[in-house]
Structure 1
Amino acid sequence: MFSGINQLFVRLGDHPDLGKLLLRLTVGGLLLFHGEAKIIHGVGWIAHLLAVRGLPGFIAYGAYIGEVVAPVMVIVGLMTRPAALIIAINLVVATLLVKTGAFWDRTDVGAWALETEAFYLLGALTILLLGAGKYTLVRDMRLQ
């Protein structure tokens, strides 16, 4: 009985390329909202956080790359793996700048305080490991 149910789900759900597309659309699409906020409000506050830590403020402009350019690349499947790596690096830097010390914290509803950051970071790393799949504008180059 369990074997038959499992085989049914395998037949219905065995679409890894569609899963990769859904993951790319989810991570890239949701991250674009953060990029839109940077476009509307600027990155001056990020430059200030960097300056407080003794880092050059121009690094703040990397948020546009990590939250606008790279997510669009992930969505359309253009250089997906490098774009996913850029997103992952962006998330590590953003988390260190804004949420340092919150690793053990929880929200009022019991959620991990860093779960959004973890979702984007782990989603980007998963895209990096899986690649874009077949539903892209540009195919991943593979070594033969």
Structure 2
Amino acid sequence: MIAKLNSIFSSVTHHPDGGRLLLRILVAGLMIFHGVAKVSHGIDWIAADLAAKGIPSFVAYGVYIGEILAPAMVILGILTVPAAFIILINMIVAMLMVGAFGHMTEVTKVGAWALETDAFYVLGCVAIMMLGTGKYSVAPAAYR
């Protein structure tokens, strides 16, 4: 009975390429919101933070690559693995800039891990890099 039930659910839900697409849309689509905020409100504060840490302020423009260009590429399935890696690096730099790694053991008032959003993006990018694009992509197979 359990095997039959599992077989029924598996036949309905087993769509690895659809799962890859859903993961790509979720991780990269949510990241684009961060990029849109940077376009709307500017990146001067990021440039100032970088300069205060001795990093050239022009590096702040990389946020547009990591939060708009690379996520768009991931969603479309164009050079998905390198684009996911760029988002991953963008997240690690952002976490270093705000000192997130100092909050590894903290829990919020509602019981959530303080770094769960960061972990979502980091591990989501790692999963995309491990799984690849799948068949749903606007790019030819050589560019996925």
Which TM-score applies when normalising by structure 1?
A: 0.94
1:32 corresponds in structure 2 to 32
5+ residue gaps, structure 2 = none
Which whole-Å deviations, capped at 9, do the CAs of 1:122-143 have from their partners, x for residues lacking one? 111111111111010014439x
State how far apart, in whole Å, the 2-side matches of 1:110 and 1:48 are. 33
State how far apart, in whole Å, the 1-side matches of 2:62 and 2:71 are. 13
State how far apart, in whole Å, the 1-side matches of 2:105 and 2:77 are. 35
State how far apart, in whole Å, the 2-side matches of 1:50 and 1:83 are. 23
Q: Tell me the SS of whatever aligns to 2:112.
A: coil
Measured on the aligned residues, the alpha-carbon RMSD in Å equals: 1.3
2:112 corresponds in structure 1 to 111
* Aligned amino acid, residue 115 of structure 1: E
5+ residue gaps, structure 1 = none
Answer yes or no: is the 8 Å Cα contact 1:17–1:134 preserved in 2: yes
State how far apart, in whole Å, the 1-side matches of 2:37 and 2:101 are. 21
Answer yes or no: is the 8 Å Cα contact 1:79–1:140 preserved in 2: no
Equivalent residues in 2 for 1:66-81, closer than 5 Å: 66-81=66-81
Q: Does 1:84 align with 2:65?
A: no
Structure whose residues are more often helix by fraction: 2
2:46 corresponds in structure 1 to 46
* Aligned amino acid, residue 102 of structure 1: H
Structure 1 segments, 4+ long, off by >6 Å, are: none
Equivalent residues in 2 for 1:111-130, closer than 5 Å: 111-130=112-131
Which TM-score applies when normalising by structure 2?
A: 0.94
2:97 corresponds in structure 1 to 97
- Identical-residue share of aligned pairs (%): 53
State how far apart, in whole Å, the 2-side matches of 1:57 and 1:100 are. 23
Superposed displacement of residue 13, structure 1: 1.1
